[in-house]
Amino acid sequence: MLRAMTFQARRLWGQLVSMRTALVLLFLLAMAAVPGATFPQRDISPADVAAYYDAHPTLAPILDRFWAFDVFGSPWFAAIYLLLFVSLTGCLISRVRVHLLPLITGPPAAPARLSKLPLHATVGPVTRSPAELADTVRSTLRGVRWRRIRQVTEPSGSITLSAERGQLRELGNLVFHFALLVVLIGVAVGGLWGWKGGAVIVEDSQFCNTVQSYDQFERGQLVADSAITPFCLSMSDFRAQFLPNGQPVRYEADVRYEADKSDDDSGARTTEPRTPYTLEVNRPLRMDGAGVFLINHGYAPILRYTDRYGTVFESPTPFLPKDNGLSSDGVVVLPDANQDPDGQDRAPNVQVAFEGVYVPTAPPLPPYVRSEYPTRRNEGITLLGYQGDTGLDSGIPRSVYSLDQQRVAAGDLDLVGSAFLRPGETWKLDDGSQVTFVGTKQWMSVEVSHDPGRLTALGGAAAMVLGLLVSLFTRRRRLFVRCGVGGAGIGTTIELAGLTRADSEAFAAEFSRIVNAVREVTSQQPDFEDFPNPSISSKS
């Protein structure tokens, strides 16, 4: 019973590590990746997934059940690549035994009947002793760079040489397959111990690296809060260059950073980080344990709102660009506006919100909602003012770039008017409050990430390419020579035979050169059996 089971297990294992299984699994892997490129993926663009749900309300949930929107995190995708890698590991183990050991021990002894091999030629007989001839042939072979030679004296007195070249091919192949494992390990390490977060930094403000200061943050299963490197980063100037047609050509941000610094270092926000750096797209700031990458940029209009009690609210609010001219949408929500400074209770329904469309270069004529150019040549902002309950203290997290339209529809928020303001202009609202468009600052969004498996994966990838090159461009070939005592003491006959797995024609040519060389050094006319015939195919 137990033996039957181990037999079954053996058989299963044997099948799993076979080339054929690898082939099938490779196809499965390729096919499994297709839906990942066909359907929107949640971790890349959640918005597209939501849009897909809207467009296909019945199909989407069914697809979702099969992980169509999380293909690369799905159990079935994992099952395929894990099987592939178990199979790969298994075949690596056996192939190390089969291919690596001969690398160390050298070529095997010559087979008994050399004429059975695909390439075969005879030279001689020559009136010299086998030992003498073996030495001559040996140095001839060395001369054409066949250096791994094994010599055996057979009981009959014949001497055989076995030589091998291109044995690195198998090593290259093993390195390639092993490197695949290394890449996977690198990816896994990054997934488990890596983290990344996205944040928006406005000019003249500072960002400090804590989980709380991110707009979004993702981390691997094994990342503790304490593993997140402390540093602070400030941005003083953002420069964007555009072509006359509005196409961007360059983004640069002047930043300063300081490692081992954090918010709660006794009023850290008052001191600037020390080290200056120019952050660019494709030129991230790399610190120990984290990299800062420039992802996006835009404008942050500064509104100064003076409420009916004279309290002033002023701050830049990042707006989200929506076209190449950087027309940007955003909302400024003031949940604490219009509260009597001397009052005890919070007054309801007096909150204020402005929905705005900012244009860095306003067109000459209204409507001023579509910017003509991405830099600030003629800026202005169209504001829609709302009053009532913005819902902001109700604790439901919501996009900060748009207003909750359900509240407007439900009458919680009333539209109180609209205005277009240029810098410095003020709009007086009916309730006595007023809003001034002070100007704009620029913002950049950065992604901060830490991926400890990055270099492992890179090393694996480099080894993969090297292994591939070696494996695909070396030809493994063997040469056997027997210097045998001819019949009735005529002399010594030299028999040569060659064996290769791939590219038999090129080897046939090489073989013929070697035979010619041997013929020359032994100064005898060769007596060919089936040489020169380059058309013999290998029996691989």
Partner 1 sequence: MPTNESLADLSNSLLLWAIVVYALAMTCYAIEYAFGAQGAVAAVVRRPDTRTVRQSALVGAGGDDAVPGDVESGSAADPESQPRDESSVGWIGVLRRAAIAATVLGALCQVGSLIARGAAADRVPWGNMYEFICVVCLVGVVSWLVACVTRRQLRHLGVFVLLPVVLLLGLAGTVLYADAAPLVPALNSVWLRIHVSAAAISSGIFLFGFVCGVLYLIRHGYDTRTSNARISSGARPLSFPFTLGPRLPAADSLERLTFRVHALAFPLWTFAVIAGAIWAEAAWTRYWGWDPKETWAFISWVVYAAYLHARATSGWRGKRAVYIVLLGWATMMVNLFVINLVQTGLHSYAGVS
Footprint on this chain of partner 1 (rule: CB under 8 A): 19-20, 22-23, 26-27, 29-30, 33-34, 36-37, 41, 43-44, 71-72, 187, 196, 243-245, 247-251, 280-284, 291, 293, 295, 447, 449, 451, 454, 457-458, 461-462, 464-465, 468-469, 472-473, 503-506, 508-509, 533-537
Per CB under 6 A, the segment of 85-93, 111-119, 345-353, 444-452 that binds ligand HEM is 85-93
Angle at 47 between CA 46 and CA 52, to 5 degrees: 95
Smallest gap from Cβ 420 to partner 1, in A, equals 30
Smallest gap from Cβ 464 to partner 1, in A, equals 6
Q: Site map for ligand HEM, 100-139, x if CB under 6 A?
A: ----------------------------------------
Classify burial at 421, counting beta carbons within 10 Å of its beta carbon; exposed 0-12, middle 13-18, buried 19 or more: buried
Instruction: Dihedral sign for Cα 393, 394, 398, 402, please.
Output: negative
Q: Does a cis peptide bond (omega within 30 degrees of 0) precede residue 273?
A: no
Per CB under 6 A, the segment of 81-89, 208-216, 243-251, 509-517 that binds ligand HEM is 81-89
Does the footprint of ligand HEM cover residue 465 (CB under 6 A)?
A: no
Smallest gap from Cβ 272 to partner 1, in A, equals 25
Q: Which does 506 bind (CB under 5 to 8 A by kind): ligand HEM, partner 1, none?
A: partner 1
Does the footprint of ligand HEM cover residue 338 (CB under 6 A)?
A: no
Does the footprint of ligand HEM cover residue 167 (CB under 6 A)?
A: no
| Terminal-residue alpha carbon distance, the chain | 40
Give the DSSP letter of residue 269. Answer: G
Q: Site map for ligand HEM, 467-486, x if CB under 6 A?
A: -x--xx--------------
Smallest gap from Cβ 370 to partner 1, in A, equals 17
Angstrom distance (rounded) from CA 366 to CA 383: 14
Angstrom distance (rounded) from CA 423 to CA 379: 7
Smallest gap from Cβ 109 to partner 1, in A, equals 26
Q: Does a cis peptide bond (omega within 30 degrees of 0) precede residue 321?
A: no
Does the footprint of ligand HEM cover residue 177 (CB under 6 A)?
A: yes
Smallest gap from Cβ 73 to partner 1, in A, equals 10
Residues touching ligand HEM, count (CB under 6 A): 15
414: number of CA atoms within 13 Å, CB side? 6
Q: Which does 523 bind (CB under 5 to 8 A by kind): ligand HEM, partner 1, none?
A: none
Number of neighbours of residue 240 by Cβ within 10 angstroms: 17
Among 84, 137, 383, 485, binds ligand HEM (CB under 6 A): 84
DSSP 109-146: PPPS-GGGSSEEEEEEEESS-HHHHHHHHHHHHHHTT-
188: number of CA atoms within 13 Å, CB side? 11
Does the footprint of ligand HEM cover residue 22 (CB under 6 A)?
A: yes
Smallest gap from Cβ 71 to partner 1, in A, equals 8
In the complex with partner 1, which residue's Cβ is closer, 116 or 283?
Answer: 283
Does the footprint of ligand HEM cover residue 243 (CB under 6 A)?
A: no
What are the residues whose beta carbons fall under 8 Å from the beta carbon of 221, sequence distance 6 or more? 192
What are the residues whose beta carbons fall under 8 Å from the beta carbon of 380, sequence distance 6 or more? 358, 359, 362, 368, 420, 421, 422, 423, 437
**What ranges in 474-503 are assigned the alpha helix state H?**
none
Does the footprint of ligand HEM cover residue 87 (CB under 6 A)?
A: yes
231: number of CA atoms within 13 Å, CB side? 22
Judge contact between 516 and 528, C-beta under 8 A. Answer: no
Judge contact between 294 and 307, C-beta under 8 A. Answer: no
In the complex with partner 1, which residue's Cβ is closer, 295 or 369?
Answer: 295
Q: Which residue, chain included where needed, has tokens 């390419």?
A: 465
In the complex with ligand HEM, which residue's Cβ is closer, 471 or 500?
Answer: 471
Does the footprint of ligand HEM cover residue 52 (CB under 6 A)?
A: no
Q: Which does 119 bind (CB under 5 to 8 A by kind): partner 1, ligand HEM, none?
A: none
Judge contact between 291 and 450, C-beta under 8 A. Answer: yes
Smallest gap from Cβ 506 to ligand HEM, in A, equals 16
Residues that bind ligand HEM (CB under 6 A): 17, 19, 22, 26, 84, 87-88, 91, 173, 176-177, 180, 468, 471-472
